[in-house]
Structure 1
Amino acid sequence: MRVAVIGCTHAGTAAIVNTAKLYPEAEITVYERNDNISFLSCGIALYVGGVVKDPQGLFYSSPEQLAELGVKTKMLHEVTAVDTDRKQLTARNLQTGEEFADHFDKLIVTTGSWPVVPRFPGIELDNIILSKNFNHSNMIIEKGKEAQNIVVVGAGYIGIELVEAFQMNGKNVTLIDAEERILSKYLDAEYTDVIEDTLRERGIALALGEKVVRFEGEEGRVNAVITDHGRYAADVVILCIGFKPNTELLKGQVDMLDNGAIIVDEYMRTSKNDVFAAGDSCAVYYNPLKSHAYIPLATNAVRMGTLAARNLLTPTVKYLGTQGTSGIKIYENNIAATGLTESAAREAGLEADSVLVTDSYRPEFMPTHEKVTLKLVYEQGTNRILGAQIMSKVDLTQAINTISVCIQNDMKMEELAFVDFFFQPHFNKPWNFLNSAGLQVLPEVPAQEIVHV
């Protein structure tokens, strides 16, 4: 069995390693157009900020390790065409320019995503950088050394982590986003208001609700970002606007969402026989909405890549879908979220409501008992849990993994109220804060039904 894999980051590495172990007789060839594989792009801000000293720790595999499994890895090779009917691909060696054809019995497409780059006037100026791969991270660090004014465009997770890293390195930092709130896809205003205040207190300028119009520069190098509201000095600009699936190779050959994300079934099969896909190139089944959505996350990618390998010959293990669970640490605040925010649920047409719990995470008689803020979003009428968000100066983020399981299993708020959680004063209260959120939705007992003894 000849297996071809296109792309080798999160999903690709998981698919390759598992395919090699499960089918030792398979002839596996990997095509990767970069000069490295398996880079943890979520560690870029940690590398930029100096938390990670040795970037080699951000790689979790190598061509040498794959070779030990019998895998042939073709680095700096770009696949230029795929014919899924003839089971053939065309690749180009980026070092020599040589083009050649290869055939496969099974194809796993893990081509990932690429940053959205709007064609703003001035986009060609030097020191305007993307934030996606290892080469980008090195460029950000190198360009940032001499820069004093850093502008980050895009207030998602990557953008927020980068402005924090640069501020801690003593830079003048501006964060620009067209949305009125930071992290608006992940958190409701109860959280983003607090985080925005924290960023401003640290001296980070927030230009929210502003759209970039153009970049200006001198001698070919950027020196300002112009929005529809103002002008911001910039020695370096980092674009973190979002990601789009890298799927041109299969356009018109397999089913896709409107944005080009490949639609796969629960076994990672595309609409074409013997063609599998996984990771950021794909749509995922989003349990809160019971539909496919584009949610590029490393966690989704490694699960999907593993499943693609396990189901390569026979449908064996089903994908359970995703809640889009994620977490971030911003200065002293530990934050995590899963499923729908209240605003996103309403935008999706759901009749949503929420409860907000703010409490000490453990008994007040303990030496410390920091506050935790938990928000649960649920569907009116059914009380089905749709999403949750948490923030505390204590790391309580694992609670969001619990809620992720609840959403995956269609649990209701009243069921969460009475889930069995342990109690120990070092860790929590007799009523865990998750129970407390569920309890708030229980109906009151009508007065006439109360029996006095």
Structure 2
Amino acid sequence: MKIIVIGCTHAGTAAITQMAALYPEAQITVYERNDNISFLSCGIALHVAGVVHNAESLFYSSPEQLAALGVQTKMLHDVISVDTKTKTVVVRDLIREVTMTDTYDKLVVTTGSWPIIPKMDGMDLDNILLCKNYAHAQTIIDRAKHAEQIVVVGAGYIGIELVEAFEQLGKQVTVIDNTPRVLYKYLDAEYTEFVEEEMKQRHIRLALNQSVTAFAGVNGKVNRVMTTAGEYEADLVIMCIGFRPNTGLLAGQVDMLGNGAIIVDEYMRTSCPDVYAAGDSCAIRYNPTGQPAYIPLATNAVRMGTLVARNIIKPTVRYMGTQGTSGIKIFDLNIASTGLTEQAALDAGLLVKSVTINDNYRPEFMPTYEKALLKVVYQEATGRIVGAQVLSKADLTQSINTLSVCIQNRMTMEELGFVDFFFQPHYNKPWNILNQAGLQAYVQKFNKVKI
């Protein structure tokens, strides 16, 4: 069996290592256009801030390690076309500048995503940077040494983590986003107000509810960012407005969403026989809605890559979908979310209610304790849990992993109220905060029942 893998980051690395172990007789060839593989881009902000001193520690595999597994890894090889009818790929060797054709029995597409780059005046100015790979990380660190006023465009996870990193380096930071709140996609307003207040106390400028319209510069280098609400001085700009799936190779050959994300079934099969896909190039089933969605997360990627290996011969292990579960630490705040925010649920046309618990996370007789803010969103008619968020200076983020399981298993708020959780004063109260949320929803429902 001859397997070709295109791309080798999270999903690709997971698929390759598992296939090499499961099918030692297979001939596995990997084509990667970059000069490195398996870079943990989620560590870029930590590297910029100096928390992670050695960027090489953010790699978790190498061509040498794959070679030891019997995998032929061809770095700096760009696949320029795929023909699924003839089962061929055309590859450009970027070093020798020659083109070749290869054939496959099974094709695994793990081409990932790339930052969205808007078309506007001034985008070609120097010091307007992207944030995705190892080279980007090194360039950001180098340019930040000589920058004082830094603008981050995009207030999602990556943008906000970079804002924190630059603030810790003593820079004057402005964050611009076209939504009314930071982390709008992940958190409801009662959470983002905590984050925004922390940012304001650190003199970070929030330029929200406005869109970048152009960049201006002097001598080819950016010095101003223009928006729909004004303009901001900047000697370094980082673009973090989102990602787009890298799927042009299969355009018109497999089913995709409107944004180009490849649609795969529960066994990671595309609509074309013998073509599999995983990671940021794919759409996957989003359990809160039951519909395909584009959710580029490393956790999704490694699971999907592993499932490609398990299912490439025959359907064996199905994918259970995703809740888009994620977490972030901003300053002293530990934050995590899963599933739909209340705003996202309403925007999707779901009839939902929510419960918010604002309580100390452990008994007040303990020497110290912190406030915890937990919100659980659920369908009004059935009580089925569809989303949750938590914020505290104490690390309670694992509670969101628990609620992710609840969403995946279609649990209700009533069931959550009576789940068996341990009690130990070091960690929680006799009624766990998750139990409290379930019980509060149950009481609200009971009080509505006429006796």
TM-score range, shorter chain: over 0.9
Q: Residue 76 of structure 2 aligns to which amino acid in structure 1?
A: L
Deviations 1:39-77 (A, max 9, x none): 000000000000001111100000000000000111011
1:2-401 alignment runs, 5 A limit: 2-401=2-401
Match for residue 411 of structure 1? 411
Deviations 1:22-53 (A, max 9, x none): 00001100000011000000000000000001
Equivalent residue for 2:446, pick from 439, 444, 447: 444
**Counterparts in 2 of 1:305 and 1:447: CA distance versus 1, 3 Å:** closer
User: 1:446 deviation in Å?
Assistant: 8.7
| Separation (CA, whole Å) in 1 of partners of 2:237 and 2:359 | 40
User: 1:444 deviation in Å?
Assistant: 3.4
Q: Secondary structure at the match of 1:270?
A: coil
| Separation (CA, whole Å) in 2 of partners of 1:267 and 1:253 | 19
User: 1:228 deviation in Å?
Assistant: 1.2
| Separation (CA, whole Å) in 2 of partners of 1:445 and 1:134 | 56
- After superposition, the CA RMSD in angstroms is 1.0
Q: Residue 275 of structure 2 aligns to which amino acid in structure 1?
A: V
| Separation (CA, whole Å) in 2 of partners of 1:447 and 1:216 | 62
Q: Residue 76 of structure 1 aligns to which amino acid in structure 2?
A: L
Q: Residue 35 of structure 2 aligns to which amino acid in structure 1?
A: D
| Separation (CA, whole Å) in 1 of partners of 2:44 and 2:159 | 11
**Counterparts in 2 of 1:444 and 1:132: CA distance versus 1, 3 Å:** same
| Separation (CA, whole Å) in 1 of partners of 2:275 and 2:215 | 42
User: 1:441 deviation in Å?
Assistant: 1.2
2:421 matches 1:433: no
Q: Residue 365 of structure 1 aligns to which amino acid in structure 2?
A: F
| Separation (CA, whole Å) in 1 of partners of 2:77 and 2:203 | 44
| Separation (CA, whole Å) in 2 of partners of 1:242 and 1:145 | 25
Q: Secondary structure at the match of 2:270?
A: coil
TM-score normalised to the size of structure 1?
Answer: 0.98
Q: Secondary structure at the match of 2:142?
A: helix
User: 1:447 deviation in Å?
Assistant: 10
Q: Residue 166 of structure 1 aligns to which amino acid in structure 2?
A: F
Deviations 1:304-337 (A, max 9, x none): 0000011000100000000000000000000000
Deviations 1:337-364 (A, max 9, x none): 0000000000000001101001111111
Q: Residue 293 of structure 1 aligns to which amino acid in structure 2?
A: A
| Separation (CA, whole Å) in 1 of partners of 2:66 and 2:39 | 15
Q: Secondary structure at the match of 2:140?
A: helix
| Separation (CA, whole Å) in 2 of partners of 1:444 and 1:110 | 49
Q: Secondary structure at the match of 2:314?
A: coil
Q: Is the deviation greater in 436-445 or in 287-296? A: 436-445
Q: Residue 236 of structure 1 aligns to which amino acid in structure 2?
A: L
User: 1:95 deviation in Å?
Assistant: 1.5
Q: Residue 220 of structure 2 aligns to which amino acid in structure 1?
A: G
Q: Secondary structure at the match of 1:425?
A: coil
**Counterparts in 2 of 1:196 and 1:97: CA distance versus 1, 3 Å:** same
**Counterparts in 2 of 1:155 and 1:121: CA distance versus 1, 3 Å:** same
Deviations 1:389-445 (A, max 9, x none): 000101110000000000000000000000000011111111000000000111336
| Separation (CA, whole Å) in 2 of partners of 1:325 and 1:154 | 20
| Separation (CA, whole Å) in 1 of partners of 2:449 and 2:135 | 67
| Separation (CA, whole Å) in 2 of partners of 1:31 and 1:447 | 62
Q: Residue 238 of structure 2 aligns to which amino acid in structure 1?
A: I
| Separation (CA, whole Å) in 1 of partners of 2:131 and 2:407 | 32
Q: Residue 300 of structure 1 aligns to which amino acid in structure 2?
A: N
Q: Residue 271 of structure 2 aligns to which amino acid in structure 1?
A: S
| Separation (CA, whole Å) in 1 of partners of 2:392 and 2:415 | 24
| Separation (CA, whole Å) in 1 of partners of 2:149 and 2:447 | 60
User: 1:165 deviation in Å?
Assistant: 0.2
**Counterparts in 2 of 1:446 and 1:325: CA distance versus 1, 3 Å:** closer
Q: How many residues align?
A: 449
| Separation (CA, whole Å) in 2 of partners of 1:46 and 1:427 | 28
User: 1:230 deviation in Å?
Assistant: 1.1
User: 1:219 deviation in Å?
Assistant: 0.6
Q: Secondary structure at the match of 1:18?
A: helix
Deviations 1:197-237 (A, max 9, x none): 11011010000011101000011110110111111111110
Deviations 1:254-287 (A, max 9, x none): 0000110000000000001110000000001000
Q: Secondary structure at the match of 2:262?
A: coil
Q: Residue 182 of structure 1 aligns to which amino acid in structure 2?
A: V
| Separation (CA, whole Å) in 2 of partners of 1:412 and 1:77 | 50
Structure 2, unmatched stretches of 5+, are none
Q: Residue 26 of structure 1 aligns to which amino acid in structure 2?
A: A
Structure 1, unmatched stretches of 5+, are none
| Separation (CA, whole Å) in 2 of partners of 1:146 and 1:371 | 40
Q: Secondary structure at the match of 2:328?
A: strand
| Separation (CA, whole Å) in 2 of partners of 1:426 and 1:203 | 35
